[in-house]
């Protein structure tokens, strides 16, 4: 896949574990996939919100069903790229890519981005919180497949999970001032910088150990994002394919959800999406739009399914292998996957439509606001008296972490691992009057 000694290095695990598995013919990447599927953190995705709150209807996508769709799209992208470049030797295996796609969201907390903002705010003086950083932490440290090394996955798999290879403490350079007069936080101020926790520096350093000094420096380079945050520039080829699959699933399948449940109407589409698509004035798109609009909002479900499948296929077959920076010495860093410009523009319009008309809908934002503040109150409660309120096993972890002044990270781990429903029940147990 990469060749020679380098190939072996990317297959290494951080610790050697002897497992009695006679005649086990799985590749290292297939073993990684098995460990993800059987992980408690993966199962919890079935009870975490994708966009629409769990319980609002019986059609909603959870983080689990979303992850399955990302895996299906990701392997489709991989097949397409391999067919286009049969001599290219550095593509990930199907098992490796499935692992990344299936587990890419396991670090996301309850209540979606509202939960992420809440935990980042509560961790503002303790290294922050970010869903992708938490994913790496879960697979490499928290999941109890090993003693302290998480699922003990291969080095290349772990690299694929790192969408943002920089430390949050270096990316989050100007923390907003707290307004003591304000009872609630302003969400946009507390959106997390996307990176890795300083607490997990040892894991990151082990992952990138095979890289040259120049590749390490280039991989972690950053640029300004906004007044508070910087952002990283690069990621591995494997991570880029996974991210494209995630974007397509979000833009297309979450759109399907919203249409099927009548959250988005034909009028919404005609007013807020179609004019932007028409303005692109691409010949191939112009011939498609009338039929696409009719099928997406058809009363016949099979017609909507056909339109959704056509959109997904259209994006997949217009993804190409590209070079992100010639200066990288490592092939899986030098190369990336990109969507052709015209199709990228279409995808961004669909993502923006879903974001503005669904996610930013006031009713959805009110639900997210409720979850956000619930999680802030839970964190405040557990942090006030952790050795009284935390479960026994978590208390032990807290005491050990406090030796290194990292106790708040353990409370954060505990709360971020909750499902939406369990967080609600915990809140009721702590704060609701006895009936």
Mean pLDDT value of segment 352-371: 86
Residue 168 in tokens: 């949050």
Mean pLDDT value of segment 385-414: 96
Of the CA atoms within 13 Å of residue 371, those in its CB half-sphere come to 29
Among the ranges given (6-15, 293-302, 322-331), the one the predictor scored with the smallest mean pLDDT: 6-15
CB distance 168 to 130 below 8 Å: yes
Burial of 355 (C-beta count, 10 Å sphere; 0-12/13-18/19+): middle
pLDDT in tens, 245-275: 999 999 998 888 888 888 889 999 999 999 9
Mean pLDDT value of segment 289-293: 95
Residue with tokens 């109150």: 377
- The CA-atom distances, in angstroms, between 258 and each of 59, 110, 277 are 10, 20, 19
pLDDT in tens, 39-74: 999 999 988 866 644 344 444 568 899 999 999 999
DSSP bridge pairs for 232: 222
Is this model's pTM higher than 0.85 or not? Answer: yes
> Strand, helix or coil at 150?
coil
Res. 227 pLDDT band, cuts 50 70 90: confident
Q: What torsion, rounded to 10 degrees, do the Cα atoms 274, 279, 283, 285 define? A: -30
Non-local CB neighbours of 423 within 8 Å, separated by 6+ positions = 110, 111, 371, 374, 375, 378, 415
pLDDT in tens, 86-140: 999 999 999 999 999 999 999 999 998 899 999 999 999 999 999 999 999 999 9
């Amino acid at each position: 896949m990469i060749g020679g000694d380098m190939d072996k290095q990317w297959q290494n695990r951080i610790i050697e574990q002897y497992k009695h598995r006679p005649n086990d013919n799985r590749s290292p990447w297939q073993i990684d996939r098995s460990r993800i599927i059987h992980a408690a953190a993966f199962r919890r995705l079935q009870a975490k919100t994708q966009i629409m709150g769990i319980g609002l209807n019986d059609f909603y996508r959870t983080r689990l069903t979303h992850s399955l769709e990302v895996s299906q799209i990701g392997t489709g992208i991989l097949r397409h790229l391999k067919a286009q470049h049969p001599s290219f030797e550095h593509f990930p295996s199907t098992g490796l890519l499935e692992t990344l796609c299936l587990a890419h969201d396991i670090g996301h907390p309850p209540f979606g981005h509202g939960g992420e903002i809440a935990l980042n705010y509560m961790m503002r003086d303790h290294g922050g919180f970010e869903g992708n950083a938490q994913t790496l932490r879960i697979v490499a440290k928290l999941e109890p497949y090993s003693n302290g090394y998480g699922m003990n996955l291969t080095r290349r798999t772990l690299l694929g999970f790192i969408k943002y290879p920089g430390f949050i403490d270096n990316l989050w350079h100007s923390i907003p001032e707290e307004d003591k007069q304000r009872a609630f936080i302003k969400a946009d101020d507390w959106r997390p910088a996307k990176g890795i926790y300083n607490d997990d520096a040892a894991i990151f350093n082990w992952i990138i150990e095979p890289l040259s000094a120049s590749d390490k420096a280039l991989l972690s380079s950053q640029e300004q994002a906004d007044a508070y945050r910087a952002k990283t520039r690069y990621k591995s080829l494997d991570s880029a394919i996974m991210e494209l699959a995630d974007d397509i699933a979000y833009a297309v399948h979450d759109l399907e959800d919203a249409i099927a449940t009548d959250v988005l109407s034909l009028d919404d589409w005609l007013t807020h999406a179609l004019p932007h698509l028409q303005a692109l004035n691409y010949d191939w798109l112009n011939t498609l739009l009338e039929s696409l609009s009719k099928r997406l909002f058809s009363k016949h479900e099979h017609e909507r399914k056909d339109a959704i499948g056509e959109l997904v296929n259209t994006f997949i077959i217009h993804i190409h292998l590209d070079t992100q920076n010639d200066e990288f010495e490592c092939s899986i860093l030098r190369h990336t996957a990109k969507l052709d410009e015209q199709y990228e523009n279409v995808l961004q319009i669909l993502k923006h439509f879903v974001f503005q008309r669904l996610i930013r809908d006031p009713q959805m934002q009110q639900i997210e606001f409720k979850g956000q503040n619930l999680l802030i109150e839970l964190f405040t409660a557990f942090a006030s008296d952790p050795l009284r309120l935390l479960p026994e096993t978590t208390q032990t972890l807290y005491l050990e972490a406090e030796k290194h002044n990292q106790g708040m990270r353990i409370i954060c781990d505990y709360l971020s691992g909750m499902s939406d429903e369990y967080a609600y029940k915990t809140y009721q147990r702590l704060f609701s009057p006895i009936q």
